[in-house]
Structure 1
Amino acid sequence: MIRPKSKLPHTGTSIFTQMSHLAAQYGAINLSQGFPDFDCSPRLIDLVERYMRAGHNQYAPMAGVAMLRERIGAKVEVTTGVCYDPETEITVTAGATQALFTAMAALIRPGDEVILFEPAYDAYAPAVRLFGGVPKPVTLLAPDFAINWQTVAQLMNDKTRLIVINSPNNPTARVFSDTDYRELSRLLVDRDCYLLSDEVYEHVVFDGTRHCSAAQYPELRERAFVVASFGKCYHITGWKIGYCFAPRRLTEEFRKVHQFNVFSVNTPIQYALADFLDRPEEYLGLAAFFQAKRDLLLRGLAGTPFAPLPCQGTYFLLADYSAISDQPEQTFCQWLTQQHGVATIPVAAFYTDSINQRLIRICFAKREETLEKAIERLMAVKTS
């Protein structure tokens, strides 16, 4: 049988798929994969149905429905103070991951180097490799996962084509500071290097923490693709719809790839989201909504041997299990799923090189009763 030569020979089934399968096998509460177990607004569903019945069921414009791009532009201007032209600088995508993939496709040529900060979302490095790029990871460690910008500077050279950042960060729950952005701006001055800023958790920040967008820094804005997600905003991860905004010359290259990748995105959902954006409280209220869930989880973990790490944003929390076991993280997560019925993710899965900090990632984008039931099970875990 003919077997193709793999472009990703070292890539297997993702840890998220593995842990979700294990959770189903053992009837465990799934706090591994990052999706809510509650539904979106009924009004949003009604709007989608309305536009379906109104006949908006054929291809949308390649860049996205004009009304939605206009509403996105207005949202970006209100939340960041920066104006992007809906016609030439905003593109609707089939989820944030497609936007990340498309931006990389537009920029990366064989041999180009791409700086990634690890632990990192697992889609980054494979996409870099698919386009012939070379991932250059910067390893960040618990408890604060702080970036040593001098290390980043030493890693940069004439082959460095792209830097990928993610704030608020999955999985560390860390938020980029003004200092981080200014250090990054300084490094990129006068370089032929671009920025891909993954900001899908932009509205999920806690304790008065402020999310700053890369778009708010002029030195970064001119070279940045910024990616956002309606899935994270409106609890509709299964709808796979997001957007990318970037200066016109960058968007031109982005759309050259986008038109031959997905061409266009689900039409009735675009119209529905355009209408739904008329209520900014739906996304501006996310911080308080998810902070209440985070705090519920924190109160519950206080009665367990797990030690939570600081959580500034996203709907993930990291916990140290050193008081329980010396097992490697993936082995521990499998044991926790099988023996205690709670599925989580090993943080080691977000690194290129093997590392064991005895950390697990817990998703708290769940109903209160789900979290309470999971906490009850975690309270049965004993120290070693």
Structure 2
Amino acid sequence: MRPNSRFAQVRPFDIDKVAAAAGQDPDVLRLENLDTDVPPPPAAVAASRRSLAEGTGNSWLPFTGLPALSEAVAADLRTRTGLDYDPLRQVVITSGGTSAVMPVLLSTTEPGDRVVLTDPTYAGLLQRVRLSGARPHFVPLRVRDGHWRLDREALAQVRSAAALLLMSPSMPSGVVLDEEDWAQVARVCERADAYLVYDAAMERIVFDGHPRINPCRVPGLAERTIIIGSMSKEYRMIGWRIGWVAGPADIMSRIMVATVYNTTVAGGFQQMGAAAALREPSGVAEAVAEYQARHDTVVTQLGDLPVVRAGGGWSCLVDAEAMGLTAADLSARLLERGRVAATPMTAWGEAVARRYVRLVFSNEPVKRLSELRDRFAAALA
């Protein structure tokens, strides 16, 4: 096999290894992967079934997405951002939010360009930066008063970048960026003439009264922001594989071409379900309340251990090195001794990420999560 420079720094996912090691044992607490047992919106299920029954959704045309879904996305974005997006020129539907990342990177960066990410960040973002030929530049998250905070001083040192690729709330940390964080992002984008690529997959899954701030409402960011959205997290529609990209019309013309030639769009019946979920009551607030209860259970269970409280999202992190272990060692002990499947963050950033193990609480109920302290005790014994 000939060498390929794109793969020189790409790290494989550890999630599949942990999941395979856990097998199908029902006793294992499954905290390794981002699934959820909170059901999707009934309206989405009904619309998808109806489309299949009527024979109207067995298609992947048009390649940029069904107008009904593009219009629903534009309406939702109007509420979130205050901006009017042209559904046909400024919105493209993708086969999941993560599948949107590569077309956006190919459209906004040249090989060797710098892309700013947090440390830790979602491995699916980081490794796609490397595969695209761009170079990741990490801005660390710091733990202060038991919460994650963006290191604004480190961000302020960024002088050149093609793009900043950020989430809020972010995987895997659950950090929520506040108004001053976004203001600093705006200053960096202006100075570097960079795009903000904003992964909004979890925007409304926030805890403890944190304000939800869409960066398009921050002065100086609307004209630079490319939004990647998804039905997977907020709407619990992971299996539908529906995402989208929206942004300024000029760059979207390029992103649409890259999207069409990167992957075909999800099936029509899935898109009809997504459009229904966006138009009708979808249970987001109720789902967020459930996720907060699960998160709070994890934090309470591990209160005497170095677990970092999340501001939102589906997961939180525990510091393995603070317990005298590597993240890989803690992950192995949790599975072997505590029957907990949890992923080390070795491919999810740089110096900060590699200290931590991720605990996903979206797919386990409070009752099962209430066993977590005993399972950790067994793992650490």
Take 1:177 and 1:378, find their aligned partners in 2: how far apart are those partners? 35
SS at match of 2:363: coil
Q: Report how far residue 308 of structure 1 moved.
A: 2.9
Tell me the residue number matched to 1:36: 36
Q: Report how far residue 318 of structure 1 moved.
A: 2.1
TM-score (norm 1): 0.89
Tell me the residue number matched to 1:363: 360
Q: Report how far residue 252 of structure 1 moved.
A: 0.8
1:57-96 map, 5 Å: 57-96=58-97
Taking structure 1 as reference, are residues 354 and 310 closer, same or farther at Cα in structure 2, changes over 3 Å only? closer
Tell me the residue number matched to 1:174: 175
Tell me the residue number matched to 2:158: 155
Percent of residue pairs identical: 23
8 Å contact from structure 1 (residues 348, 355) kept in 2 = yes
8 Å contact from structure 1 (residues 345, 362) kept in 2 = yes
Unpaired runs of at least 5, structure 1: none
Structure 2 counterpart of 1:381, from 367, 378, 381: 378
**Stretch deviating more after TM superposition (94-103 or 280-289):** 280-289
8 Å contact from structure 2 (residues 12, 347) kept in 1 = no
Taking structure 1 as reference, are residues 186 and 322 closer, same or farther at Cα in structure 2, changes over 3 Å only? closer
Taking structure 1 as reference, are residues 150 and 353 closer, same or farther at Cα in structure 2, changes over 3 Å only? closer
8 Å contact from structure 1 (residues 116, 136) kept in 2 = yes
Take 1:367 and 1:16, find their aligned partners in 2: how far apart are those partners? 17
> Structure 1, residues 188-207: CA drift from partner, whole Å, max 9, x if none?
22543111111111111011
SS at match of 2:220: helix
Match for 2:263: what amino acid?
V
Taking structure 1 as reference, are residues 284 and 368 closer, same or farther at Cα in structure 2, changes over 3 Å only? closer
1:92-111 map, 5 Å: 92-111=93-112
Match for 2:157: what amino acid?
Q
TM-score (norm 2): 0.90
Match for 2:7: what amino acid?
L
Take 1:110 and 1:322, find their aligned partners in 2: how far apart are those partners? 35
Match for 1:368: what amino acid?
P
Unpaired runs of at least 5, structure 2: none
8 Å contact from structure 2 (residues 15, 32) kept in 1 = yes
SS at match of 2:229: strand
1:208 and 2:203 equivalent? no
1:1-384 map, 5 Å: 3-6=1-4, 7-24=6-23, 28-56=28-56, 57-143=58-144, 144-157=147-160, 160-189=161-190, 191-302=192-303, 305-320=304-319, 325-353=323-351, 357=355, 359-368=356-365, 371-372=368-369, 374-375=371-372, 377-378=374-375, 380-381=377-378
Take 1:138 and 1:201, find their aligned partners in 2: how far apart are those partners? 20
SS at match of 1:311: coil
Taking structure 1 as reference, are residues 337 and 136 closer, same or farther at Cα in structure 2, changes over 3 Å only? same
8 Å contact from structure 1 (residues 167, 175) kept in 2 = yes
Take 2:373 and 2:121, find their aligned partners in 1: how far apart are those partners? 30
8 Å contact from structure 2 (residues 170, 176) kept in 1 = yes
Runs of 4+ in 1 over 6 A off after TM superposition: none
Take 1:77 and 1:338, find their aligned partners in 2: how far apart are those partners? 49
8 Å contact from structure 1 (residues 337, 344) kept in 2 = yes
Q: Report how far residue 296 of structure 1 moved.
A: 2.9
8 Å contact from structure 1 (residues 364, 371) kept in 2 = no
Match for 2:155: what amino acid?
V
